[in-house]
Structure 1
Amino acid sequence: MIVLPGDGIGPEITAATQAVLRAASDRFDLGLVMEEHDVGHASLARHGTTVRPELLDLAKAADGLMLGPTATFDFKDEAKGQINPSKFFRKELDLFANIRPARTYPGLAAPVEDFDLVVVRENTEGFYADRNMAEGSGELLVTPDVVVSLRRITRACCERIADAACRLALRRRKRVTVVHKANVLKLGDGMFLDICRETVGRYPGIEMDEVIVDAMMAHAVRHPGRYDVIVTTNMFGDILSDLTAELSGSLGLGGSLNAGSTYAMAQAAHGSAPDIAGQDVANPYSLVLSAALLLDWHGERHQAKRFGEAARAIEAGIARLIADGNVTRDVGGSLGTAAAGAALAAEITRPT
Structure 2
Amino acid sequence: MASSMTKIFRSAVKLSKHHNYGAQRCFSATAVTNQSDDIKTVTLIPGDGVGPELMQSVKEVFKAGGVPVQFDEIFISEVMDHQHAGVDEVVESLKKNHVALKGIIHTPTGGTGQLQTLNMKMRNELDLFANVVRCRTIPGVKTRHSNLDFVVIREQTEGEYSALEHESVPGVVECLKIITRAKSERIAKFAFDYATKHGRKKVTAVHKANIMKLSDGLFLESCRQMSTLYPKIEFEAMIVDNTCMQLVSNPHQFDVMVTPNLYGNIVDNLAAGLVGGAGVVPGENFSKDYAIFEPGARHTFSQAQGRSIANPTCMLLTAANMLQHLNLEVYAKTITDSVERVIKAGKVRTQDLGGYATTHEFTSAVVNNMR
Matches within 5 A, 1:325-336: 325=346, 326-336=348-358
- State the partner residue of 2:165: 139
**Which structure ranks higher in relative contact order (CA pairs < 8 Å, sequence separation ≥ 6)?**
1
SS of the equivalent of 2:70 reads coil
Do the aligned partners of 1:242 and 1:251 also contact (CA within 8 Å) in 2? yes
Q: State the one-letter code of the partner of 2:170.
A: P
- State the partner residue of 1:291: 319
Q: 1:212 aligns with which of 215, 236, 239?
A: 239
**Residue 127 of structure 1: CA displacement?**
0.2
Do the aligned partners of 2:130 and 2:187 also contact (CA within 8 Å) in 1? yes
- State the partner residue of 2:359: 337
CA distance in 2, matches of 1:320, 1:12: 22
Choose 265-274 or 113-122, whichever is displaced more.
265-274
- State the partner residue of 2:344: 323
Do the aligned partners of 1:122 and 1:161 also contact (CA within 8 Å) in 2? yes
CA distance in 2, matches of 1:183, 1:75: 30
CA distance in 2, matches of 1:344, 1:150: 46
**Residue 109 of structure 1: CA displacement?**
1.3
Do the aligned partners of 1:76 and 1:83 also contact (CA within 8 Å) in 2? no
Matching of residue 117 in structure 1 with residue 139 in structure 2:
no
Matches within 5 A, 1:174-189: 174-189=201-216
* TM-aligned CA distance change 1:201 to 1:66, over 3 Å: same
**Residue 77 of structure 1: CA displacement?**
7.1
Q: 1:14 aligns with which of 55, 61, 66?
A: 55
Matching of residue 257 in structure 1 with residue 284 in structure 2:
yes
Residue deviations 1:167-205 (CA, integer Å, cap 9, x gap) = 221213221111111111111111111111222221231
- Percent identity, aligned pairs only, is 35
**Residue 122 of structure 1: CA displacement?**
0.5
CA distance in 2, matches of 1:233, 1:41: 25
Q: 1:148 aligns with which of 174, 183, 190?
A: 174
Q: State the one-letter code of the partner of 1:9.
A: V
TM-score by length of 1: 0.86
Matching of residue 160 in structure 1 with residue 191 in structure 2:
no
Do the aligned partners of 2:129 and 2:286 also contact (CA within 8 Å) in 1? yes
Q: State the one-letter code of the partner of 1:346.
A: N
* TM-aligned CA distance change 1:201 to 1:344, over 3 Å: farther
Do the aligned partners of 1:126 and 1:153 also contact (CA within 8 Å) in 2? yes
* TM-aligned CA distance change 1:190 to 1:311, over 3 Å: farther
Do the aligned partners of 1:108 and 1:332 also contact (CA within 8 Å) in 2? no
**Residue 341 of structure 1: CA displacement?**
2.4
Matching of residue 44 in structure 1 with residue 81 in structure 2:
yes
**Residue 337 of structure 1: CA displacement?**
1.4
Do the aligned partners of 1:63 and 1:298 also contact (CA within 8 Å) in 2? no
Q: Which runs of 5+ in 1 are unaligned?
A: 300-306
Q: State the one-letter code of the partner of 1:207.
A: E
Q: 2:260 aligns with which of 212, 229, 233?
A: 233
Do the aligned partners of 2:204 and 2:257 also contact (CA within 8 Å) in 1? yes
* TM-aligned CA distance change 1:297 to 1:155, over 3 Å: farther
* TM-aligned CA distance change 1:270 to 1:338, over 3 Å: farther
Q: 2:96 aligns with which of 57, 61, 81?
A: 61
SS of the equivalent of 1:73 reads coil
SS of the equivalent of 2:158 reads coil
CA distance in 2, matches of 1:93, 1:208: 30
Q: State the one-letter code of the partner of 1:278.
A: G
SS of the equivalent of 1:142 reads strand
Q: State the one-letter code of the partner of 1:143.
A: V
SS of the equivalent of 2:153 reads strand
Q: State the one-letter code of the partner of 1:230.
A: M
SS of the equivalent of 2:44 reads strand
Do the aligned partners of 2:87 and 2:118 also contact (CA within 8 Å) in 1? no
SS of the equivalent of 2:174 reads strand
Do the aligned partners of 1:252 and 1:270 also contact (CA within 8 Å) in 2? no
CA distance in 1, matches of 2:214, 2:160: 14
Q: State the one-letter code of the partner of 2:74.
A: H
Choose 188-197 or 66-75, whichever is displaced more.
66-75
Structure of larger gyration radius = 2
Choose 110-119 or 66-75, whichever is displaced more.
66-75
Q: Which runs of 5+ in 2 are unaligned?
A: 1-41
- State the partner residue of 1:304: none
Do the aligned partners of 2:286 and 2:292 also contact (CA within 8 Å) in 1? yes
SS of the equivalent of 2:140 reads coil
TM-score by length of 2: 0.82
Do the aligned partners of 1:127 and 1:234 also contact (CA within 8 Å) in 2? yes
Do the aligned partners of 1:176 and 1:206 also contact (CA within 8 Å) in 2? yes
* TM-aligned CA distance change 1:338 to 1:311, over 3 Å: same
Residue deviations 1:283-327 (CA, integer Å, cap 9, x gap) = 12222222223233333xxxxxxx244334433332222111223
- State the partner residue of 2:14: none
* TM-aligned CA distance change 1:13 to 1:83, over 3 Å: farther
CA distance in 1, matches of 2:366, 2:111: 37
Do the aligned partners of 1:162 and 1:196 also contact (CA within 8 Å) in 2? yes
More helix by share: 1
- State the partner residue of 2:68: 31
RMSD of equivalent CA atoms: 2.2
